[in-house]
Amino acid sequence: MRGPHNIWRLIRTGATLERTGAMGVVLDAFKAPPSLRLVARILGWPFKWLGDKGDPNMPPATRALTALGPAYIKFGQVLSTRPDVVGDELAIQLRVLQDKLPPFPIEVAKKSVEAELEVPVDQIFSEFSEPVAAASIAQVHKATLAETGEEVAVKVLRPGIEKAFRRDIDAFYLAARMIELLSPSSRRLRPMEVIAHFEGVVLGELDLRLESSAAGEFAANTKNDAGFQLPKVKWEYSAKRVMTLGWAEGVPSGDVIAIDAAGHDRRELGKRVMQLFLRHALRDGYFHADMHQGNLKIAPNGDIIAYDFGIMGRIDEYTRRVYAEILFGFIRKDYRRVAEVHFEAGYVPPDRDVDEFARALRAVGEPIFGMDATRISMGRLLNYLFEVTERFGMETRTELILLQRTMVVVEGVARSLDPHINIWEVARPTVEDYIKESIGPKALIKDLARTARVLARFGPRLPQMAEAALIRQGNPPPEHRPANRWWRPILWMGTGAGLTALLIIILERF
């Protein structure tokens, strides 16, 4: 339930960060200015005793986020993929949030499986292991199907996870409302809509039937992608709080030592993970939106294996084309075109200066090109990009939040595999291929053909629709005048002639 009582939750958040020692760690990682450090200390120190202690065996930041709950853990998972933003030390500390959180007892997991599948665990699985991975929402057990002997992964939701997430999200809503009230300039960032978007994503992740469906759709889209695998969903052993998939054998993508020992080319893997994400987002408009190291393995043959499909992203074709044009413009260093696309898509208010915006974008893009990734401060670039969006009055695009977040995570994964990766050079071939297919002459013909198919579907109803329109305008159609029913075939001929003429014009142009 949303309301002022959630102020207590926010106070506990600050107090927990202070009590666990995470406040200083986080402020140092983000290079917070002295004024912000002072405010944080003043607000946090008096309430320190109200904070959760957390697990003293964990590093401060991990200890605090784990104590605060699943929604905070999700945030930590994103930061764990960005050592260039929070530093190597903090990123390594936060990586345990991906799949090494404290598990709940195996007896509880078995009871949940039995309650969901309505069959005793021993009848379904001949073996059922202790948890092999535990994350913010669920944990995974390795099991063997009694009927076939196949090894599978059984994902089980944490007890009470729905209530815990609801509590956190309610507090986030209050924080967003307070930000809007106390800082009118922040309203362009649409904090309430951002939290609403996050809520929708999380609620979808709490129903494993939806995750199973997402896995099936994703598998159908990517079945021909070289160097990429997905475990198969076992629908008969899956339900709302339990999901069973084929076992994925491989090396964790975050273990670079094991990857090197297995003889895999990390440079190639970093390149492939970035290109796979772009291909899925641009080609299919449907992508894995939680591609951190804990959800990726490297198979013995070098394939990248993705799993955990609780958070998937979907973007419509128009948005994909806008996104591709922006990326393509950056790759070509055509900042004027990047600026124009922002204006055409309505991302920037029309009363702003397009040339000034292009100059600001150049200041964002140029430091990246031709520079070793290890010398780029992504934190500083993100800081400047935020200043640019504020200066030009850009509002948060909720339809792009998941895409942008995933881009940040995937780039972090790629950099962990190859610290010297140049994301723009890696992205170029994938984006260029999409541009050729979706924005050039071939794409125009496809669009027109699709439009013609839609019109053809309404073909039998066009005369009646035209007649109804004439009646509404007070101009009776010819059939209401005696012996004047010749208008129908003319309308049909006109419709056919119009479509024919349109196709002729297309063919003449190309």
Task: Label residue 151 by pLDDT band (50, 70, 90).
Answer: very high
Contact 153/309 with Cβ under 8 angstroms?
A: no
Model-level pTM? Answer: 0.71
Alpha carbon distances (Å) from 170 to 5, 71, 76, 131, 166: 10, 11, 19, 30, 6
Cα 505 from Cα 497, distance rounded (Å): 12
What is the per-residue pLDDT for 482? 47
Q: What six digits make up the tokens of 424?
A: 């723009």
User: In the chain, what percentage of residues exceed pLDDT 90?
Assistant: 30
Residue whose token pair is 């439009």: 451
pLDDT, mean of residues 19-24: 80
212-230 residues labelled b (16+ CB within 10 A) or e (exposed): bbbbeebeebbeebeebbb
What is the per-residue pLDDT for 246? 95
Query: Residue ranges of the domains in the chain?
Result: 6-99, 102-135+137-247, 249-438, 442-509
Residue 221 has pLDDT above 50, yes or no: yes
Residue 21 has pLDDT above 50, yes or no: yes
Task: Label residue 375 by pLDDT band (50, 70, 90).
Answer: low
The sign of the CA dihedral 251, 256, 262, 266 is positive
Q: What is the dihedral of CA 320, 322, 328, 330, to 10 degrees?
A: -130
User: In the chain, what percentage of residues exceed pLDDT 70?
Assistant: 73
92-96, 132-136, 192-196, 368-372, range with greatest mean pLDDT:
132-136
DSSP string for 98-159: HHBSPPPPHHHHHHHHHHHHSS-HHHHEEEEEEEEEE-SSEEEEEEEETTT--EEEEEEEPT
Residue 386 has pLDDT above 70, yes or no: no
pLDDT tens for residues 292-331? 888 899 999 999 999 989 888 888 888 888 888 888 888 8
Query: Residues 6 or more apart from 43 whose CB is under 8 A from it?
Result: 14
pLDDT, mean of residues 135-164: 92
Burial of 105 (0-12, 13-18, 19+ CB in 10 A): exposed
160-174, 175-189, 299-313, range with greatest mean pLDDT:
299-313
Largest CA distance in the chain: 93
405-425 residues labelled b (16+ CB within 10 A) or e (exposed): bbbbbbbbbbbbbbbebbbbe
Residue whose token pair is 């049909």: 492
Least confident of 142-146, 182-186, 386-390, 418-422: 182-186
Alpha carbon distances (Å) from 137 to 47, 130, 349: 29, 17, 39
How many other CB atoms are found less than 10 A from the CB of residue 69? 20
Task: Label residue 99 by pLDDT band (50, 70, 90).
Answer: low
User: Which residues does the annotation mark as catalytic?
Assistant: 290
